[in-house]
Structure 1
Amino acid sequence: MSPKPLTASLLLATALVAGGAQAEADAPTQQVQQIRNATVKLTYDETTFLIDPMLAEQGAYPGFEGTHRSELRNPLVGLPMPVQEIIDGVDAVIVTHTHLDHWDEAAQALLPKEIPLFAQHAADAELIRAQGFTDVRVLEDSAEFRGVSLHRTGGQHGSDAIYAVPELAALLGEVMGVVFEAPGQPTTYVVGDTLWHDEVDRALERYRPEVIVLNAGAAEVDGFEGDPIIIGKEDTLRAYRAAPEATIIAVHLDAVNHMTLSRDELREYVSEQGIEDRVRIPADGDVISVGPDHAGR
Structure 2
Amino acid sequence: MLIKTFAGALVAASAVFAGGAFAESGAQESTQQIQHIRNATIKVTYGETTFLIDPMLADQGAYPGFENTYRSELHNPLVGLPMAVEDVVEGTDAVIVTHTHLDHWDDAAQKQLPKDIPLFVQNAADAEIIRSQGFKDVRILDDVAEFRGVTLHKTGGQHGSDAIYAVPELAKLLGEVMGVVFESKGQKTTYVVGDTVWRDEVVRALERYRPEVIVLNTGAAEVSGFEGDPIIMGKEDTLLIHRAAPDATIVAVHMDAVNHMTLSRKELAEFVHNEGIDEQVLIPADGEIHSF
| TM-score, normalization by structure 1 | 0.88
The whole-number CA distance in structure 1 between the counterparts of 2:85 and 2:108 is 10
1:28–1:184 CA contact under 8 A, matched in 2: no
Q: How does 1:232-251 map to 2 (within 5 A)?
A: 232-251=234-253
Q: Which deviations, in whole Å up to 9, do the C-alpha atoms of 1:188-237 show, x marking residues without a partner?
A: 00000000010000000000000000000000000000000000000001
Cα offset for 1:135?
A: 0.2
The whole-number CA distance in structure 2 between the counterparts of 1:160 and 1:170 is 13
The whole-number CA distance in structure 2 between the counterparts of 1:92 and 1:284 is 21
Corresponding residue for residue 206 of structure 1:
208
The whole-number CA distance in structure 2 between the counterparts of 1:235 and 1:31 is 24
The whole-number CA distance in structure 2 between the counterparts of 1:216 and 1:42 is 18
The whole-number CA distance in structure 1 between the counterparts of 2:62 and 2:189 is 35
Corresponding residue for residue 220 of structure 1:
222
| TM-score, normalization by structure 2 | 0.90
1:219–1:260 CA contact under 8 A, matched in 2: yes
Aligned to 2:142, which of 140, 143, 157? 140
Does 2:50 match 1:48? yes
Q: How does 1:1-297 map to 2 (within 5 A)?
A: 29-290=31-292
Q: CA RMSD in A?
A: 1.0
The whole-number CA distance in structure 1 between the counterparts of 2:248 and 2:237 is 14
Flag the structure with larger Rg: 1
Identity of aligned residues (%): 76
Corresponding residue for residue 294 of structure 1:
none
Which amino acid is the alignment partner of residue 209 of structure 1? Answer: P
The whole-number CA distance in structure 1 between the counterparts of 2:195 and 2:174 is 10
User: Where does the alignment leave 5 or more consecutive residues of structure 1 unmatched?
Assistant: 1-24, 291-297
Q: Which deviations, in whole Å up to 9, do the C-alpha atoms of 1:27-80 show, x marking residues without a partner?
A: 753100000000000000100000000000000000000100000000000000
Larger RCO: 1 or 2 (CA < 8 Å, sep 6+): 2
Regions of 4+ moved over 4 Å: 25-28
Secondary structure of the 2:33 match is strand
Cα offset for 1:244?
A: 1.2
Cα offset for 1:277?
A: 1.1
1:28–1:185 CA contact under 8 A, matched in 2: no
Secondary structure of the 2:278 match is coil
Which amino acid is the alignment partner of residue 193 of structure 1? Answer: D
Q: How many residues align?
A: 266
Secondary structure of the 1:277 match is helix
The whole-number CA distance in structure 1 between the counterparts of 2:80 and 2:234 is 23
